[in-house]
Amino acid sequence: MKTKHFLIVATLAAVFAGCATMPPNELVNARQAYQTASEGRAAELAPAELHKAQEALKLAEESFAKDSDSTKTKDLSYVAQRKAELAGAVGAMNADTSRKDRAGAAFQDKQAEIVQQGKQDLRDSENQTADARAELDKQAALKEAKDKSDAEFQRQQAETARQAKQDLIDSEQRTADARAELARIGAVKEEERGLVVTLSGGVFFRSADSTLLPTAQVKLDQVAKALLAVRERNIIVEGHTDSQGALSYNQGLSQRRADTVRDYLIRRGYPADRIQAHGMGEGNPIANNTSPEGRANNRRVEIVIER
């Protein structure tokens, strides 16, 4: 019985002595490696490998508990250390993979952004080009229109000048024709105030009357026809009398006669705003009033065609 107790005590002593033994370096390193791995990225990024490391360390610990200094304990500890280091390496590798993937995604995003920006720049450039082209077209159209307008203006100016010249020639021709025509009807002379046509009063009116004689109307038709060729000219119809009778009477008579002639010419088509009638009375004789012939010459109507 004593022997049995001794054996039990010896066994327990041996166990305690074993527990108190310092672990081999391999196991210390394995523990340290596992702690490092579990506190690093392996816990998140390599949990399977970390679990294998944990299992390997557990085997080593169990072996150490059974035989603290055995080769097997050292080998298992060595393997556990490598498993822990492997878990750390896998964690780091997975972190690098994530980093690479993120960089790849960022690269693609940036490339897409560049392409998008490039397209936008191209669109902007095209718009600017189109705007510039439109502006050029507009300027060209304006220049063309201006050139055309200038050419038209010059052409019109030339046409106007030519027409004015032609009108002048025509006017001069009509004036010459009218003058020749009038010269056949009455006396014509050039004066400071214009061309003066003198029509004998005896042919146009009875004595002391302002009503046109029928023969006078024929004469005045000829006069009107000649004057209508120069209707752009202002004319003045002047009535003159001889010196017989009262001065005021002669003034009124001469005015009425001038008015009668003026009205007749207007009826024949001469513009009313270009024709005036002045009664000159007896104040502008062209002959001596002492003789019947001279008074006959003084009774007259003068038509002044202004220059």
Site residues, another protein (CB under 8 A):
71-72, 75-76, 78-79, 82-83, 85-86, 89-90, 92-93, 96-97, 99-100, 103-104, 106-107, 110-111, 113-114, 117
Residue 96 or 144 having the CB closest to another protein: 96
The minimum distance between CB 137 and another protein, in angstroms, equals 36
What is the Cα–Cα distance from 75 to 73, expressed in whole angstroms?
5
The minimum distance between CB 135 and another protein, in angstroms, equals 32
Residue 113 or 126 having the CB closest to another protein: 113
The minimum distance between CB 56 and another protein, in angstroms, equals 8
Give the count of alpha carbons within 13 A of 131, CB side only.
Answer: 6
The minimum distance between CB 130 and another protein, in angstroms, equals 26
Helix pair 247-267, 214-228: axis angle to 10 deg: 60
Phi, psi for residue 281 in degrees, rounded to 5 = 65, -145
What is the Cα–Cα distance from 122 to 6, expressed in whole angstroms?
98
Residue 111 or 156 having the CB closest to another protein: 111
What is the Cα–Cα distance from 45 to 88, expressed in whole angstroms?
9
Residue 60 or 212 having the CB closest to another protein: 60
Residue 92 or 296 having the CB closest to another protein: 92
- Listed as own residue / partner, the contacts of 32-39 with beta carbons closer than 8 Å and 24 or more positions apart are 33/80, 33/81, 33/84, 33/85, 33/88, 34/80, 34/81, 34/84, 36/84, 36/88, 37/84, 37/85, 37/87, 37/88, 37/91
The minimum distance between CB 11 and another protein, in angstroms, equals 16
The minimum distance between CB 76 and another protein, in angstroms, equals 7
Residue 75 or 126 having the CB closest to another protein: 75
What is the Cα–Cα distance from 230 to 194, expressed in whole angstroms?
13
